[in-house]
Structure 1
Amino acid sequence: MSHEAATNRGPTTQPDSGLNDSNVRKHRLRLLATGAAAGVVLAVSGILAVTSIMGDDTLPQTDAKTSPSPEGNKSSEPPRTPATARAVALPQPDSTAEGIGTGFEHSARGAAAAAVSYWQDFDLRDEAIARKQWAAVTSKDSPETIDRGVSGLVGEPTWGEVPNKGSAAVKAFLIRSLNDSGEVVVVWMVYDRLAVGVDGESLEDETTHLILKWEDGYWKVTEEPQYATRVHGPRSYHPDSKYAYSEGWRRVARG
Structure 2
Amino acid sequence: MSAAYDGKARKARLRLALIGVAIVGTLGVGGALGVMTLKADEPEAKASRDASPGGTASSAPPANRALTPAEASRVPVLKPKSNTDGIGTGFEHSALGATSAAISYWEDLDVLDDVIARKQWTAIAASDSPKTIDKGVTEVRKIREGVGLPPSGGTPDGITFSTNVTAALTRSLDTSGDIVNVWMVFDRYATIRDKGADDNPLKDEVTNLVLKWDGGDWKVTTDPQYTSEVNGPHAYDPASTYAWADGWRVVSDG
What residue in structure 1 maps to residue 160 of structure 2?
A: 163
**2:59 is equivalent to residue 100 of structure 1:** no
Instruction: Give distance in 1, aligned partners of 2:219 and 2:125.
Output: 5
What residue in structure 2 maps to residue 19 of structure 1?
A: none
Instruction: Give distance in 2, aligned partners of 1:182 and 1:50.
Output: 13
3-state SS in 2 of match to 1:243: helix
What residue in structure 2 maps to residue 250 of structure 1?
A: 249
CA RMSD in angstroms comes to 3.2
- Is the alpha carbon distance of 1:117 and 1:236 closer, same or farther for their aligned partners in structure 2, counting shifts above 3 Å? same
What residue in structure 1 maps to residue 215 of structure 2?
A: 216
3-state SS in 2 of match to 1:135: helix
What residue in structure 1 maps to residue 68 of structure 2?
A: 81
The structure carrying a bigger strand percent of its residues is 2
Q: Which amino acid aligns with 2:222?
A: E
What residue in structure 2 maps to residue 151 of structure 1?
A: 138
Instruction: Give distance in 1, aligned partners of 2:58 and 2:232.
Output: 19
Q: How does 1:154-233 map to 2 (within 5 A)?
A: 156=143, 157-158=146-147, 162-163=159-160, 167-197=162-192, 202-233=201-232
TM-superposition CA deviations, 1:11-49 (whole Å, max 9, x none): xxxxxxxxxxxx988643323264x65xxxx44xx5479
Q: How many residues align?
A: 212
What residue in structure 2 maps to residue 71 of structure 1?
A: none
> Which residue, 18, 23, 28 being the options, matches 2:22?
28
Deviation at 1:228, TM superposition (A): 0.7
Q: Which amino acid aligns with 1:144?
A: K
Deviation at 1:153, TM superposition (A): 3.4
What residue in structure 1 maps to residue 152 of structure 2?
A: none
3-state SS in 1 of match to 2:67: coil
Instruction: Give distance in 2, aligned partners of 1:105 and 1:64.
Output: 29
Q: TM-score, normalised on structure 1?
A: 0.73
Kept in 2: contact 1:123–1:154 (CA 8 A): no
Instruction: Give distance in 1, aligned partners of 2:62 and 2:159.
Output: 41
Instruction: Give distance in 1, aligned partners of 2:167 and 2:93.
Output: 20
Q: Which amino acid aligns with 2:225?
A: Q
> Which residue, 107, 114, 122 being the options, matches 1:127?
114
Instruction: Give distance in 2, aligned partners of 1:111 and 1:235.
Output: 20
What residue in structure 2 maps to residue 116 of structure 1?
A: 103
> Which residue, 61, 64, 69 being the options, matches 1:63?
61
- Is the alpha carbon distance of 1:120 and 1:26 closer, same or farther for their aligned partners in structure 2, counting shifts above 3 Å? closer
Kept in 1: contact 2:125–2:133 (CA 8 A): yes
Instruction: Give distance in 1, aligned partners of 2:99 and 2:26.
Output: 18
Q: Which amino acid aligns with 2:172?
A: S
- Is the alpha carbon distance of 1:25 and 1:163 closer, same or farther for their aligned partners in structure 2, counting shifts above 3 Å? closer
3-state SS in 1 of match to 2:137: helix
3-state SS in 1 of match to 2:121: helix
Kept in 2: contact 1:112–1:173 (CA 8 A): yes
Select between 143-152 and 232-241 the one with higher mean Cα deviation.
143-152
Instruction: Give distance in 2, aligned partners of 1:90 and 1:25.
Output: 24
TM-superposition CA deviations, 1:205-230 (whole Å, max 9, x none): 00000000000101000011111110
Percent of aligned positions that are identical: 42
Kept in 1: contact 2:28–2:207 (CA 8 A): no
3-state SS in 2 of match to 1:55: coil
Kept in 1: contact 2:37–2:95 (CA 8 A): no
Deviation at 1:147, TM superposition (A): 1.5
Instruction: Give distance in 1, aligned partners of 2:103 and 2:249.
Output: 12
Structure 1: gaps (5+ residues) = 1-22, 67-76
Deviation at 1:145, TM superposition (A): 1.0
